[in-house]
Structure 1
Amino acid sequence: MTVAPQAPLLFFDSGVGGLSILAPAQAALPHAPVVYAADSAGFPYGTRSEAEIAARVPALLGRLVERYRPRLAVIACNTASTIALSAVRAALDIPVVGTVPAIKPAALLSQSRVFGVLGTDATVRQPYVDRLAAEHGSDCTVLRHGSAALVQLAEAKLRGEPLDPAVARDALAGLFDQPGGDRMDIVVLACTHFPLVEAELAAASPRPLRFVHGGEGIARRIAYLTQGQPWPSEPQPGTAVFTRLDESVERLRPALESYGLPRIEGL
């Protein structure tokens, strides 16, 4: 398949969490044109039902691919990936990269053999997470906790709003307070919003923890899948697309510009 140099990479998330996936991809491929799409009308995904997400995500990605003609799509959302990745791949005729919890690297790195998976409520209950834990961490105690409030904290941070430190503290307490939590040495940030508040989580932790997530690995995967394809000769300004445009999107403008997304459009 011939790919035009201007064909963008498409990143999709419920909100701004996917920016934690976009940033390492931009570092790896600085000349790549980018379309970043946020389903602001459907946000947050973590409290929605599996059926809603399974229906919504492939339909939206179909519309985005039709409009922007990307060379590749990234579902930069753990919840959407664990529920809808196979359906999206079946529906689209371009490569689709999913975002899955970084359980394998956590199992390799954990010294205590106890690690936490901090995600949305929808992600941490998925059978997909059970399979990853069984496959890669069978000798580990894998603690899980879902936090919708931490997703909102990340969105608020990018809008430049004051942050309540109790949100990060409560999210970690959901792991620490479980049996074995006192031995936990690593936390998997299993929601793409959470690396955006890693500093707040580190500050809220009563002792040092290592946080892991999948951004760098996804960047390597994108680079591999686009190897040999032509790119523009200069970095390109990217486009941010929202399914609902309101004042909260306008408050995100400075953060979006800092990620190379000066243009904002509605879908």
Structure 2
Amino acid sequence: MKIALMDSGIGLLAAAAAVRRLRPDAALVLSSDPDGMPWGPRTTDDLTTRALAVARAAAAHRPDALIVACNTASVHTLPALRAELEPAIPVIGTVPAIKPAAAGGGPVAIWATPLTTGSPYQRGLIQDFAGAVDVTEVPCPGLADAVQYADEEAIDRAIAAAAALTPKDVRAVVLGCTHYELVAERIRAAVQPAGSPEVVLHGSADAVAAQALRRIGALPAPDAPTATDLTVLLSGRDALLPEAALTYAEGRLLRAAAPTR
């Protein structure tokens, strides 16, 4: 079994680690675009061109499925990616986990990039799935870039700024960018009110990993032997995991299984 993941940067690590936990025996292909990131500010046509290039680089390795581990690319490029790759390669997009967050009651905060915050796409998800739950959209300028480069001071500043915009009585936070899942516990600490029940964080990594297995008819097998086949593509070039990726537990998990790649 081989699962490919794509993103502009290292936000794909969270979903890749989730796949690794569900199916340690799966070979992984991680295809990102450091030459073209960030994808968020790009026009839809430009983004689609870059996303197709990243997807094609991954598809050349003949994976059984491709996870689009990027909210922005999922919103704007899924039709183009599916038109080119399916049915040969199932393509699985990433959707902010607004529905499960709202199911637990409110208040709910959605942390997302500034362009996604307030977008018709996100507003539509809130309308469809949040119902009467109190939802606050929180823009997080600079957080994805800070995570990408493991800039600790910038991460702290961006989280603190977003936390200041988050209601003090929040019960759940939706992590609306895959990069944010790599610093989830730091986000939780920043929004956790003293003496209150633990704030629940809702990411997408586990859900998209499970959906990828369903699409190819595979069952979870967390006790399977660990594969050592990890392919890293940076704007189409064979590479090692970026040093910044090893700052995060998810990156270290993947690196441990493939020490020579």
TM bin, normalised by shorter chain, reads: 0.7 to 0.9
Describe how 1:196-235 pairs up with structure 2 within 5 A: 196-205=182-191, 207=193, 208-228=198-218, 235=227
Q: Which residue of structure 2 aligns with residue 259 of structure 1?
A: 254
Change (3 A) 1:236 1:227: farther
Match of 2:162 among 171, 187, 200: 171
Asked whether the 8 Å contact 2:24–2:225 carries over to 1, the reply is: no
Identity of aligned residues (%): 26
Task: Provide the C-alpha distance between the structure 2 equivalents of 1:150 and 1:156, rounded to a whole number of angstroms.
Answer: 10
Task: Provide the C-alpha distance between the structure 1 equivalents of 2:26 and 2:147, rounded to a whole number of angstroms.
Answer: 26
Describe how 1:95-244 pairs up with structure 2 within 5 A: 95-110=90-105, 113-157=106-150, 162-164=152-154, 165-174=156-165, 176=166, 181-205=167-191, 207=193, 208-228=198-218, 235-243=227-235
Q: 1:195 Cα shift?
A: 1.1
Task: Provide the C-alpha distance between the structure 1 equivalents of 2:140 and 2:44, rounded to a whole number of angstroms.
Answer: 17
Asked whether the 8 Å contact 1:118–1:189 carries over to 2, the reply is: yes
Task: Provide the C-alpha distance between the structure 2 equivalents of 1:24 and 1:211, rounded to a whole number of angstroms.
Answer: 16
Q: 1:40 Cα shift?
A: 0.5
Q: Which amino acid aligns with 1:36?
A: L
Task: Provide the C-alpha distance between the structure 1 equivalents of 2:218 and 2:138, rounded to a whole number of angstroms.
Answer: 41
Task: Provide the C-alpha distance between the structure 1 equivalents of 2:136 and 2:47, rounded to a whole number of angstroms.
Answer: 25
Task: Provide the C-alpha distance between the structure 1 equivalents of 2:134 and 2:260, rounded to a whole number of angstroms.
Answer: 45
Matched, 1:78 2:68: no
Task: Provide the C-alpha distance between the structure 2 equivalents of 1:44 and 1:35, rounded to a whole number of angstroms.
Answer: 20
Task: Provide the C-alpha distance between the structure 2 equivalents of 1:185 and 1:233, rounded to a whole number of angstroms.
Answer: 38
Asked whether the 8 Å contact 2:140–2:159 carries over to 1, the reply is: no
Q: 1:152 Cα shift?
A: 2.2
Q: Which amino acid aligns with 2:94?
A: T
Task: Provide the C-alpha distance between the structure 2 equivalents of 1:99 and 1:184, rounded to a whole number of angstroms.
Answer: 24
Segments of 4+ moved more than 6 angstroms:
none
Q: Which runs of 5+ in 1 are unaligned?
A: none
SS at match of 2:182: helix
Q: Which amino acid aligns with 1:99?
A: T
Change (3 A) 1:250 1:194: closer
Asked whether the 8 Å contact 1:82–1:126 carries over to 2, the reply is: no
Matched, 1:92 2:85: yes
Asked whether the 8 Å contact 1:106–1:187 carries over to 2, the reply is: yes
Change (3 A) 1:250 1:220: closer
Task: Provide the C-alpha distance between the structure 1 equivalents of 2:41 and 2:240, rounded to a whole number of angstroms.
Answer: 20
Q: Give TM-score, length-normalised by structure 1.
A: 0.81
Task: Provide the C-alpha distance between the structure 2 equivalents of 1:234 and 1:205, rounded to a whole number of angstroms.
Answer: 36
Task: Provide the C-alpha distance between the structure 1 equivalents of 2:153 and 2:148, rounded to a whole number of angstroms.
Answer: 10
Q: Which amino acid aligns with 1:163?
A: E
Q: Which amino acid aligns with 1:105?
A: P
Task: Provide the C-alpha distance between the structure 2 equivalents of 1:225 and 1:109, rounded to a whole number of angstroms.
Answer: 27
Asked whether the 8 Å contact 2:78–2:93 carries over to 1, the reply is: yes
Aligned length: 245
SS at match of 2:108: strand
